[in-house]
């Protein structure tokens, strides 16, 4: 089968004792990095400024050449690839999105497919498909220039462009760093929903622990000197930080952060009774942390858990309603007590 026509499936990425020492540098920027990113997973590189996150990322597409060890994508060493071809086969998103200001949105996205020699029809279809995927219909946005979009929209175009040639691997360097908190959360959610559908192997740089916990299947925490401090799932990292440095980096509220990882829907709820109507109500999609916050705000020791509507959101659904019916007819699934939340969070 021609690999050009079939969508590339995700591939794993292996860092095997990787070292990067820049010319004239006294010590390595990345020092003996070994980790495996499984196919289809999102790996977040997290750590303080200067700890080698960007360098680690740029070695994957050979924008920075490794000086020791090896990186393999789908079992093949990156040094076996021509650097230019390698880069075309890997999506790359950077903070400032790097869109070409003099090209329309559609032409920005079409850049790599055109270089790869796709025919016009196929390029056009792909551009429309991708803009649709990131929620910017081609009819409305295709002919605009980057300066005619909001920051969040430009980020989404950056993601669409990185996906254009359907690369099995995506590298993202603080892609949402420049966005305000609300837009950022929305673009994060959009990206996660997109990732559910397209399942690329993603390496994502962040220096924000909350973003890392939200986005990562696994998190690699770097310390100064480009050394890997810990590589684990968010849950394990928050529960069992490997040392003092990691514990400090993830923050004193790591117990609370862990509560963000579990949805109320995952709890064994206490069956609802008529006496529960006075309890504050919250959607089953909401996290344990949101439930705890609501209990603290309302001064109760339990919440009423409501069936979440489509699209989740998972926020507060408001109190009141009779016979287990919330506003808009949401059904009460049961109640979650403070104790149940605490126990589930500690598990
Ligand atoms: N082109 C370069 N030449 C020489 N040294 C470099 C180069 N790029 C980065 N470095 C050095 O390598 C180290 C790691 O830099 P890198 O950009 O990978 O850090 P980072 O973790 O991405 O930091 P930040 O969070 O600030 O983006 C730093 O000490 C930096 O000064
Ligand atoms: Mg960086």
Q: What distance in angstroms lies between residue 241's CA and the mean position of ligand 2's atoms? A: 23
pLDDT score recorded for residue 112? 86
Q: What distance in angstroms lies between residue 120's CA and the mean position of ligand 1's atoms? A: 40
Q: Which two tokens stand for residue 121?
A: 């029809």
pLDDT score recorded for residue 7? 47
pLDDT score recorded for residue 314? 42
Q: Is the CB of 55 under 6 A from ligand 1?
A: yes
Q: Which two tokens stand for residue 48?
A: 């303080």
Q: What distance in angstroms lies between residue 171's CA and the mean position of ligand 2's atoms? A: 12
CA-to-CA distance for 71 and 19, rounded, in angstroms? 10
Q: Is the CB of 2 under 6 A from ligand 1?
A: no
CA-to-CA distance for 302 and 178, rounded, in angstroms? 38
HSE, CB side, 13 Å, CA atoms: give it for residue 258: 19
Q: What is the CA radius of gyration of the chain?
A: 23
pLDDT less than 70: residues of the chain: 1-8, 97, 309-329
Neighbours of ion ligand 2 (CB under 5 A): 54
Q: What distance in angstroms lies between residue 51's CA and the mean position of ligand 2's atoms? A: 8
Q: What distance in angstroms lies between residue 221's CA and the mean position of ligand 2's atoms? A: 13
The DSSP line for 144-210 is S-GGGS-HHHHHHHHHHHHHTT--SEEEEESTTTTS-HHHHHHHHHHHHHHHHHH--EEEEEES-HH
Residue 84 CA to its chain's centroid (Å): 26
What order of strands is seen across the sheet that includes strand 169-173? 90-94, 169-173, 201-206, 42-46, 218-223, 227-232
Pocket test for ligand 1, best of 20, 28, 29, 57 (most atoms within 8 A of CB): 29
* Confidence (pTM): 0.85
CA-to-CA distance for 93 and 181, rounded, in angstroms? 19
Q: Which two tokens stand for residue 18?
A: 């990787």
Pocket test for ligand 1, best of 52, 67, 94 (most atoms within 8 A of CB): 52
pLDDT score recorded for residue 328? 54
User: How many degrees, rounded to 5, is the angle at CA 297 between CA 294 and CA 301?
Assistant: 65
Phi-psi domain of 191 (left: phi exceeds 0; alpha: psi -120 through 50; beta: other) = alpha
Number of the ligand 1 atom closest to the C-alpha atom of 51:
21
Number of the ligand 1 atom closest to the C-alpha atom of 205:
22
DSSP letter at 327 equals: G
Q: Is the CB of 51 under 6 A from ligand 1?
A: yes
Give the Å distances, CA to CA, from 266 to 25, 181, 245, 262, 333: 50, 27, 31, 7, 12
């Amino acid at each position: 089968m021609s690999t050009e026509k079939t969508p590339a499936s995700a591939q794993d990425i292996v860092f095997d004792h990787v070292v990067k020492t820049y010319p004239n540098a006294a010590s390595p920027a990345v020092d003996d990095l070994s980790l495996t990113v499984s196919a289809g997973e999102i790996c977040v590189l997290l750590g303080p400024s200067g700890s080698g996150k960007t360098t680690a990322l740029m070695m994957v597409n050979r924008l920075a050449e490794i000086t020791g060890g090896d990186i393999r994508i789908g079992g093949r060493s990156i040094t076996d690839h021509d650097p230019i071809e390698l880069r075309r086969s890997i999506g790359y998103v950077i903070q400032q999105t790097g869109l070409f200001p003099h090209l329309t949105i559609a032409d920005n996205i079409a850049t790599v497919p055109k270089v790869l020699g796709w025919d016009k029809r196929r390029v056009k279809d792909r551009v429309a498909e991708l803009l649709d995927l990131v929620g910017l219909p081609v009819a409305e946005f295709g002919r605009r220039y980057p300066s005619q979009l909001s920051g969040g929209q430009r980020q989404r175009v950056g993601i669409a462009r990185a996906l254009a040639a359907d690369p099995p691997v995506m590298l993202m360097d603080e892609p949402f760093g420049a966005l305000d908190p609300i837009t950022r959360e929305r673009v994060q959610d959009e990206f996660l929903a997109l990732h559910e559908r397209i399942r690329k192997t993603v390496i994502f740089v962040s220096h924000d622990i909350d973003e890392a916990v939200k986005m990562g299947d696994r998190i690699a925490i770097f310390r100064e000197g480009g050394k890997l401090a810990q590589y684990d799932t968010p849950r394990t990292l928050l529960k069992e930080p490997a040392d003092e440095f990691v514990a400090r980096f993830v923050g004193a509220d790591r117990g609370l952060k862990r509560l963000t990882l579990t949805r109320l829907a995952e709890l064994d709820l206490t069956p609802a009774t008529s006496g529960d109507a006075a309890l504050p109500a919250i959607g089953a999609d909401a996290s344990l942390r949101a439930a705890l916050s609501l209990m603290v705000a309302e001064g109760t020791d339990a919440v009423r858990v409501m069936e979440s509507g489509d699209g989740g959101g998972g926020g507060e659904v408001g109190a009141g309603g009779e016979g287990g019916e919330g506003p808009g007819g949401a059904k009460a699934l049961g109640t979650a007590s403070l104790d149940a939340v605490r126990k589930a969070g500690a598990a």
